[in-house]
Amino acid sequence: MIKVQLMIKLCGVLSLLLLSASCSHEKPFVDPQFVYSQPVSLTVDSVAADKRESPLRLGDSFSFNNPDQKWTVTGIVDGKVSWISDQGDYLQTTLSTLLPPIRWGGSGTDLASGWSKLTHFQGSPYTFTAGQQFSFVENRHSIRPPDVTEARWRCAVGATNLIIVPAGKVEATEVICDRNGREKVMLNYAPSLGHFVRQVIATENGPVIRELTAYAREKQ
C-alpha cells in the first residue's frame, strides 16, 4: 500500500477515502491493529483463501507524493495487512494492495473512517499475466460521513516493464481498472515490493499522478 491517498473518489488499494463523521453503530477504527470486534460482513473469503504469501514484511515502509505520505506495515494476520501513516491514519488491506482497503480510520486530516466488503471475485488479483482480467464488487460502508455505496470494479493486466519513479527503477506491471464502467485508474504494480509504485487517476481536469518516492525493506 505505499497507502497513500486512497484514490480520489475511487477509493482504491491505498487511495484517499473522502469521508468524515457518523451516526453508525460501528466504533471509529483508530487502532493500528484494529482491536475492535470485526463485523461479520468484513469477511474477505476468496481473497484471503487465494493468497497465502506476500513480499510485504512488518516494518516495510512506502512513501508517496501527491500528497506526501508515508505508510508502514504494522501487522500481517490471516490474509490482512495493517498499516499506519506518518499522519496518524490507519488502514487494513488484503494481501493484494491493488484492491480497495477493507478498513480505514485515524486522526489524519484526509482519511475518514469506515469499512468495505469485497465479494463476487472473478479472476485473481494476485497473478499478473498480460491480458488477464479480474473483477469484483466493493460494498463500502462509510462511518464518517455516513454513507453506503456499491461499486463494480473491472481490471485488466497489461505489460510488465522497467519503469522509473522518484524512488528509483523497478519492474512493474500495468493494471488498468474502471469503477462502475466510468471512473478509471492505472496502477503500476511491483510484485517484488508487494505494492504499486505509480497510480494515475483520470479526471475531467487531466490525470492525477501519485508515485513512490522512497521505500524501506525491513530486514529479517
Confidence of residue 2 (pLDDT cuts 50, 70, 90): very low
pLDDT digit string, tens, across residues 168-188 = 999 999 999 999 988 899 999
Measuring CA to CA, how many Å separate 148 from each of 67, 86, 142, 144, 205? 26, 28, 6, 11, 27
Model pTM? Answer: 0.76
Per-residue pLDDT for 65 more than 80? yes
pLDDT tens, 130-152?
999 999 999 999 887 788 999 99
Domains of the chain, CATH where assigned: 40-216 (2.40.360)
CA distances (Å), origin 208, targets 3, 111, 197: 15, 18, 14
Residue 177: its pLDDT value, please?
Answer: 96
